[in-house]
Structure 1
Amino acid sequence: MGEKFSLVSEVGIYHDSEEEGFVCTRLLFESNDHYYVCDTPDRSAATLQLPQLFASSVQVPVAVYRARIPTDFEVTEADSESQGSCYIKRVRPFDYDAETDSNTTLYADAQLRELKVLELLKKHPHPNICRYYGYLPTADGQYVGGICLQRLECTLQEAMERGDHFPATFLEPIGAALEHLHSLGYAHNDINPRNVMLSKAGEPVLVDFDSAVQLGDKLEKGKTPEWEYEGEISSTSNDLSALHQLCQYLAKGMV
């Protein structure tokens, strides 16, 4: 491989998530709009010969991380103006295992799931739910290359970590956004400080809908560590209990 590439992420892989159980560092490269993965026994990419590792990397199959443009529900292609001013959310298979995940569609399924919910929200918008402008197709016109979303300032977690303070009523608009989502028959199922962002005006905005499924359906995605809830079914109680936990996080100034 002589083409240009960039290192997208490096993730430590451990046995049972224990530090002493280090297995390898998983590197994800991007080149020509495709992803490549490589495992190395070194702990840090800073000490690695990246060109050699990229040359030995394995290409991640496109179908693993990109959903085919759906035909069973209406989708909106983002116009050129939106593409130039929005944030483009792309699926990056940072923990893809070439030996075990070659046939997985978990990443693509999550992208398709989010796209479906966002299309619904586009028809029924809420001021505290991230605006969706449409999808960005791949060059061949077959896959969803990215999802065009409202550009926001930072996550609530980032704001807390830099020392920002918020009144007790700050998350009330998120409660209203969740009520709106529930009225449409969906639960978010992944409320945490990284999925609430701040607008330029400092208002809270709910983001990230790849865990959202219809109320009563089985959850399709793993839960965020430290923000888990009981049960494996999409439910309003998942969101309300997580929102209560988020209010406590805000009140205590936890980081």
Structure 2
Amino acid sequence: MKVCKQFRAGKQTKIKDADAAQKPLSSGDKIKDKELVTELATQIAAQQEMLFAGRSHKVLVVLQGIDTSGKDGTVKEVFSVINPQGVHIANFKAPSDIERAHDYLWRVHQMVPQWGEIMVFNRSHYEDVLVTRVHDWIDEAECERRYAQIRDFERMLAETGTVIIKCLLHISKDEQRDRLQERIDDPAKHWKFDLQDLEERKNWDRYQELFGKAIQATDADHAPWYVIPANSKTHRNLAIASILLETLIDLKLKPPAAKPELKGLKIE
């Protein structure tokens, strides 16, 4: 079975805590799994080199998830081997005054990948149908309009050469509690902790509901959602690396054709 198919969300998605602990790709040996992540990251780097050289595709990886779900950790472990020229990270936080003066997709469109590039959205345009609905900054009718706009936006990206991979990093409520507590207990990790995280945690059930709705509204063959069990950090990385590598291999990337004018050329 292809890895992508194994984690594909589809239209009927209900986010359950129990699913977050699954580890279908694990060997049962954490050390071996970490070694495999490194191996996959190296293979991704080789594919990315051909992607960058050929410039026939663009790749957008969306990492979405609740606080502590592991977006930063995924970037560190899965993308660190790639040549920095060919991969870029965009982190969409609270919009600035200038960004608020435009439509909500304005700042997002500026960050989509160029030809030959992998762009990683660490949080994304989906914040505008998640946080905004949790806090009732937009109503249901506006949310539905935004789902339609996001579908159109992603279809336009796909039709102009962008390969889209959307990953929901799914952890359980108990796992989030443990990770937040670890940040509090370790002074070296205090910089990672924000009291606002505790306020957002009060909306846990609402976030899970809205994750499911967003996936149901915007999953498509050209912009698929994958639900990644992420209680295990190693398995999370293993799953996302496997999905990305499989997607790149399916593109059948090749180095550019040799230049005839260079045949036989000798440097003196």
Pairwise TM-score range, normalised by the shorter structure: under 0.3
User: What's the TM-score, normalizing by structure 2?
Assistant: 0.26
Higher relative contact order (CA 8 A, sep 6+): 2
The structure richer in strand per residue is: 1
The structure richer in helix per residue is: 2
